Structure 1
Amino acid sequence: MNNYMHVIEFCGFSKSYKDFNLNDLNFKINSGFITGLIGPNGAGKTTLINAIMNLIPPDKGEVIVFNKSMGAWEREIKQRIGFVYDEDFYYNHLSIKEMGKIIASFYSNWNHAVFKQYLTDFKLPERKKIGNLSKGMKIKFSLAAALAHEPDLLIMDEPTSGLDPVFRRRVLSILSDYIQDGNRSVLFSTHISTDLERIADYIVYISNGQLIFSGSKEELLDEYFILKGPVASQPMKKHLIGLQQSPLGFEGLISKNIYSENSFDSQVVVEKPTLDDILVYTQGDC
């Protein structure tokens, strides 16, 4: 096992832009697990990942990775990180093989056999030009390149958005296998919350640059109930975090601390929420 409990730590991290701020973020990402990063579009997920990769400097605070300051130990730390972004930054005129050689030159522990095996598994022909790859194929290539130097931390920013459901499930299986030795960690940012339902151990939830929740997935899901019932039995709106109504009835999210069986009539159905339910209702758009 690693000799550190937390693979990433945000310590008083703040970054201000003209129309967006990350405000005094303090949280930790546990080592040896898959952590899902969730939040609505524009919440700051990609900005947070860019901060981890030291692509944006903090105005205050710092990011600690592998118990070292990313600002002071960037080169050493990045040798141990693999990353997959939704957008590619490759040379479209090069072949997969040629691009692979360029990426390999940046990593001292690049494993060509592992890279080639993933290309075979993902059905990516080495001679094919990067510019001729579909979005899904580019993500497959990015994943192969990220795993080829056998990193201790894999960071993925919306990696499954361009993949078909079958390969998305395959990626989730790869990630689950990847952390089995307890020495590797994954930070997985996605708006496809069903993916995180399947594999995430922990969740970091941010909105408008603010930390809403950081803890185990089960803790987050256990904080709320979904209530459903006919319109006639609709509870007072003040009890609900969100509310959807139709002529047939209502559905809403309620904090487990507020809910009481005696508060609502017998026609109300109580269900456990999904991550998607929590995201939708806590944004206040219902």
Structure 2
Amino acid sequence: MLKITGLTKRFDNFELGPADFSLPRGYIMGLIGANGAGKTTIIKLILNMLEPDGGEIKLFGKDNIAEESEVKQHLGVVFDNNMFVDAWTVKDIGKALSGFYRFWDDRKFSALLKRFELPDNKPVKDFSRGMQMKLMLAAAMAHDAKLLILDEPTSGLDPSARDMLMEILLEYIADGAHSVLFSTHITSDLERIADYITFVDSGKLLYTGSKDEFVDGMRAVKGGPGDLTPELKSKLIGLRSHAQGFEGLIRAGDARLFGGLIIEPVSIDEIMVYTG
């Protein structure tokens, strides 16, 4: 579905890569990292909105640059801000997109609008943040996109809107023919729905693979000021020191080395905090 090999991009004060990861058909991948880590840069490179300095991106087995027009027929994109003309209504958007996408389905678009309870006669500029996200999602799904790419779609949404989005994405991949690349810093969403995780920090990929292996393979360790020997410190992936001692991130396989110290499971969010 998506295969990235040796991807690099250099800016004056930031460098991405080299990045290598892939997303198979029928799964959801969470693209995680702090703001500014490189998540949006990766998405813009996939969409050919930025030119890479090196590497290759394949979508559906096709080069994303050489075969851009064909590739984008099968992509659906949801950004964290409105991408439509402010004065357009839902009807205007449907009319415009039906002329671009070969597989546009007016009935499916109308059904999604009804499900999302979106009015068809209001300009997009009058939509709330949640309504705009639902509109972009409806447009992305109405042309039978095989891959959905979402860039921080839940940022600023209330809990009920986020729950609806999670439910829709799980339905979307249920047939095994569709996939989702989901960029977010709200990791609780990914705890619920992601199959894979790609973790970006300061432009470097720290991990890509199974979400369960990512979480299950890490542990938090906590101890007092005198508990952290140089040997143990060398095993830490991340460290937070305080007056009462320390908290650190270790690989699950190293837990036995920390003897009687407190060892606890960790969440995706905690892993990001420890490594940030």
The partner residue of 1:257 within 235, 253, 270 is: 253
* Whole-angstrom distance in 2 between the partners of 1:62 and 1:242: 32
Do 1:23 and 1:210's aligned partners in 2 also have CA atoms closer than 8 Å?
A: yes
The partner residue of 1:209 within 197, 203, 210 is: 203
The partner residue of 1:275 within 250, 268, 273 is: 268
CA RMSD of aligned residues (A): 1.8
Do 2:94 and 2:106's aligned partners in 1 also have CA atoms closer than 8 Å?
A: no
* Whole-angstrom distance in 1 between the partners of 2:172 and 2:145: 10
Is residue 2:52 matched to residue 1:58? Answer: yes
Q: What does 1:34-45 correspond to in 2, within 5 Å?
A: 34-45=28-39
* Whole-angstrom distance in 2 between the partners of 1:17 and 1:122: 39
* Whole-angstrom distance in 2 between the partners of 1:251 and 1:15: 34
Do 1:139 and 1:162's aligned partners in 2 also have CA atoms closer than 8 Å?
A: no
* Whole-angstrom distance in 2 between the partners of 1:226 and 1:112: 50
Scaled by the length of structure 1, the TM-score of the pair is: 0.90
The partner residue of 1:89 within 50, 58, 83 is: 83
What corresponds to 1:182 in structure 2?
176
* Whole-angstrom distance in 2 between the partners of 1:234 and 1:127: 65
| Partner secondary structure for residue 259 of structure 1 | helix
Q: What does 1:35-184 correspond to in 2, within 5 Å?
A: 35-184=29-178
Do 2:78 and 2:151's aligned partners in 1 also have CA atoms closer than 8 Å?
A: yes
User: Structure 1 residues 163, 263: CA separation in 2 closer, same or farther (over 3 Å shift)?
Assistant: closer
| Partner secondary structure for residue 65 of structure 2 | helix
* Whole-angstrom distance in 1 between the partners of 2:212 and 2:264: 15
Letter in 2 for 1:263: F
Scaled by the length of structure 2, the TM-score of the pair is: 0.93
Do 2:89 and 2:124's aligned partners in 1 also have CA atoms closer than 8 Å?
A: yes
For structure 1, which segment, 273-282 or 52-61, has the greater mean C-alpha deviation from structure 2 after superposition?
52-61
User: Structure 1 residues 8, 98: CA separation in 2 closer, same or farther (over 3 Å shift)?
Assistant: same
Q: What does 1:19-38 correspond to in 2, within 5 Å?
A: 19-38=13-32
Could you tell me how far 1:252 is from its partner in structure 2? 2.5
Do 1:8 and 1:63's aligned partners in 2 also have CA atoms closer than 8 Å?
A: yes
Do 1:235 and 1:264's aligned partners in 2 also have CA atoms closer than 8 Å?
A: no
What corresponds to 1:194 in structure 2?
188
* Whole-angstrom distance in 2 between the partners of 1:162 and 1:138: 11
Q: Number of residues paired by the alignment?
A: 273
Deviations 1:152-207 (A, max 9, x none): 10110001112111121111111111111111110000011000000000011111
Could you tell me how far 1:99 is from its partner in structure 2? 2.0
Give structure 1 regions of 4+ aligned residues with deviation exceeding 6 angstroms: none
Could you tell me how far 1:222 is from its partner in structure 2? 2.1
What corresponds to 1:18 in structure 2?
12
* Whole-angstrom distance in 2 between the partners of 1:251 and 1:25: 30
| Partner secondary structure for residue 32 of structure 1 | coil
Gaps in structure 2 of 5+ consecutive residues: none
Do 2:130 and 2:161's aligned partners in 1 also have CA atoms closer than 8 Å?
A: no
| Partner secondary structure for residue 114 of structure 2 | helix
Identity of aligned residues (%): 44
For structure 1, which segment, 273-282 or 239-248, has the greater mean C-alpha deviation from structure 2 after superposition?
239-248
For structure 1, which segment, 156-165 or 23-32, has the greater mean C-alpha deviation from structure 2 after superposition?
23-32
Could you tell me how far 1:30 is from its partner in structure 2? 1.8
Do 2:225 and 2:244's aligned partners in 1 also have CA atoms closer than 8 Å?
A: no
* Whole-angstrom distance in 1 between the partners of 2:239 and 2:205: 23
| Partner secondary structure for residue 257 of structure 1 | helix
Do 2:255 and 2:263's aligned partners in 1 also have CA atoms closer than 8 Å?
A: no
* Whole-angstrom distance in 1 between the partners of 2:86 and 2:120: 14
What corresponds to 1:3 in structure 2?
none
